[in-house]
Amino acid sequence: MASIDSGGGDSGHKKGPGVKKAKKLSTRVDMTPMVDLGFLLITFFIFTATMKSPTTMDLNMPKETDKKDETKIKQSGALTIMLSKDNNVYYYEGELAPDGSNFKRSNFKDIRKVIQDKKKEVIKNHVHDDKCEDIKLKAKNRVPPDPNWQTADLDRDFVVVIKPDAEATYKNTVDILDEMTINAVKRFAMVKISETEDGLIKKTEGGK
């Protein structure tokens, strides 16, 4: 234990027989709890110093002017997700039915399942053609190479269209973009919401 030399050790002159020895109180302090505390604080500071470094999410937007570059999407592989107020999510597969019958309501918990199911469905219905080899080759030659390049062509028809409305929050937007990363959706686009869809959302919300 830590000790502080009190100066009056056994060395030195002996006192006479009649002199009573004063009882020596130990000046030692048990420092273990202090060390414990010290290291606890150190650990705390180390952790807080590195834990919360902000991260970034890359976002690439297509050029709006490139009309000819506009990718035609197959309706069978399209999933449109709309975001609205109070974290509500709406979606439909393929084209919106004129009567709005395939317009469904969801939330952020369930939308993952919807995306995954749709992806599986698209992969199942995949028809092999010439373009597939191109996609595979592209994935293989990418830097760094796609480890799953052999299956890169399977979900090529899968496109998610994201349409946040005016009431959607930024968090919703980031969450849904995140959902794309989580579910490895390669093609997605952010598009302005159409009036029909806006109307349908209003109708669903008003009709509850």
- Residue ranges in contact with another protein by CB under 8 A: 1-3, 31-32, 34-35, 38-39, 41-42, 45-46, 48-49, 52-64, 83, 112, 116, 147-148, 164-175, 177-178, 181-184, 190, 192
The nearer residue to another protein, 15 or 120, going by C-beta atoms, is 120
The nearer residue to another protein, 40 or 137, going by C-beta atoms, is 40
Residue 166 CB partners (closer than 8 Å, separation 6+): none
CB of 80 to another protein, least distance (A): 16
The nearer residue to another protein, 1 or 22, going by C-beta atoms, is 1
Q: What is Dmax (Cα atoms) for the chain?
A: 115
CB of 35 to another protein, least distance (A): 5
Q: Which amino acid is at 162?
A: I
CB 139 within 8 A of CB 149: yes
The nearer residue to another protein, 176 or 200, going by C-beta atoms, is 176
d(CA 163, CA 196): 12
CB of 122 to another protein, least distance (A): 13
The nearer residue to another protein, 55 or 101, going by C-beta atoms, is 55
Residue labelled with tokens 């939330």: 107
CB of 12 to another protein, least distance (A): 21
**In angstroms, what CA-CA distances link 185 with 13, 16, 192?**
88, 94, 20
d(CA 148, CA 12): 83
Q: What is the CA radius of gyration of the chain?
A: 34
Q: Which amino acid is at 188?
A: F
CB of 101 to another protein, least distance (A): 27
